[in-house]
């Protein structure tokens, strides 16, 4: 499953908002430095979709706020 994700780093609290088009807006506490925000994003998505972190891959947008994330439900 692929999800479009818009990341908002340096937020006061972590939260995931599902948009009407099925995309996600994810508020992260981490700054966008040294991959910290991407690590936090993968952890949050693994919790939300109840899959191991290794099942989640950022397909595009590693250094962008707009990302395409692949979530493998089966491993």
Check residue 74 and give its pLDDT.
Answer: 80
**Which pLDDT tens digits describe the chain residue by residue (75 residues)?**
999 999 999 999 999 999 999 999 999 999 999 999 999 999 999 999 999 999 999 999 999 999 999 999 886
Check residue 4 and give its pLDDT.
Answer: 98
Check residue 59 and give its pLDDT.
Answer: 98
Q: Which contacts qualify for 36-39: CB closer than 8 Å, 24 or more apart?
A: 37/7, 37/9, 38/62
At residue 12, the 3 state secondary structure works out as: coil
Check residue 5 and give its pLDDT.
Answer: 98
User: Is residue 71 within 8 Å of residue 3, measured between CB atoms?
Assistant: yes
């Amino acid at each position: 499953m692929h999800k479009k994700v818009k990341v908002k780093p340096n937020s006061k609290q972590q939260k995931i908002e599902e948009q009407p088009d099925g995309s996600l807006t994810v508020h992260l506490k981490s700054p966008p430095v040294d991959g910290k925000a991407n690590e936090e994003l993968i952890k949050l998505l693994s919790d939300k979709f109840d899959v191991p972190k290794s099942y989640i891959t950022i397909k595009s947008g590693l250094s962008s706020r707009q990302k395409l994330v692949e979530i493998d439900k089966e491993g």
